[in-house]
Amino acid sequence: MKAGPPTLRRAIVRPPGPSYAEGLTTAGLGPPDLERALAQHAAYCDALERLGLALIRLDPDPFHPDSTFVEDAAVLTPRGAVLTLPGAPSRRGEIAGIRPAIEPFFPAPREIAAPGTLDGGDVCDAGDRVFVGVSSRTNAEGARQLAAILGGWGIPVTGVDIRGAAALLHLKSGLASLGPGLLAVDSTLADHPAFRAYDLVRVSEVERYAANCVRVNEAVLVAEGFPEFAAALAARGLAVQPIAMSEFEKMDGGLSCLSLRF
């Protein structure tokens, strides 16, 4: 197996709340089944624990339907944390619920300020640098602010404008870091010059949802039901762990969205 990124030890998670079906979505896959979503979330958490992560479990937030997608509320790095300012106004109240969960580990987090907007789903840590997507949720000013903060911590940043990739809500809808020099990339991003120096595992258009996968220590969590992509990862020597995600796909969510890992 390829050498992996630094060991992850903790993750912040929040199960979907009773208002989950009222959240934002463009998927057109019908309403989610809350009971099934809770079971899928529990299985996701079990997988993280089996891979060595201690979980910080937050209570469901009935006032913010999208709050189970905790990744969008903060950017966590070994050198500090940044609280985001989500591009969707209905999600901005989620930040207050994330702050007390991260402050014991990341005192005095920095913050994105208006008119900047930033969703954590647009931020991909590739080890040697961080890619920041400009999208329908993260604007150029939010990306600029994050780049300035991370640059001050000595972390190189490369911007990637995905506004022309209509199928991608966030950068990490189509991009994932699998280890040093290795990326999973959606077909719409595969020829982007930002990724020329990397070894790419390309995700076909028909399996596009699978591009949002997560390397967690010795394994890669992938959405179940995408055998071509799972086989491509296994061919690279990566241990693949499929996870049921149907009820989160319905709400534009992916595997990375469901936790803040550090």
Active site residue ranges = 170, 257
Q: How far is CA 156 from CA 20, 59, 153, 176, in A?
A: 36, 35, 9, 17
Q: Are residues 136 and 163 in contact, defined by beta-carbon separation less than 8 angstroms?
A: yes
Q: Which of 81, 46, 42, 86 is nearest to 65 (CA)?
A: 86
For residues 246 and 29, give the distance between their C-alpha atoms in angstroms, rounded to a whole number: 9
For residues 128 and 194, give the distance between their C-alpha atoms in angstroms, rounded to a whole number: 13
Q: How far is CA 84 from CA 7, 145, 192, in A?
A: 24, 10, 26
Helices (H) and strands (E) counted in the chain, each on its own, are: 5, 15
Quickly count: other Cβ atoms within 10 Å of residue 114's Cβ.
9
Q: Are residues 143 and 119 in contact, defined by beta-carbon separation less than 8 angstroms?
A: no
Q: Which residues pair with 102 in a beta bridge?
A: none
Strand 199-203 relative to strand 214-216, pairing: unpaired
Burial of 210 (C-beta count, 10 Å sphere; 0-12/13-18/19+): buried
Q: Which of 169, 127, 162 is nearest to 27 (CA)?
A: 169
For residues 198 and 15, give the distance between their C-alpha atoms in angstroms, rounded to a whole number: 34
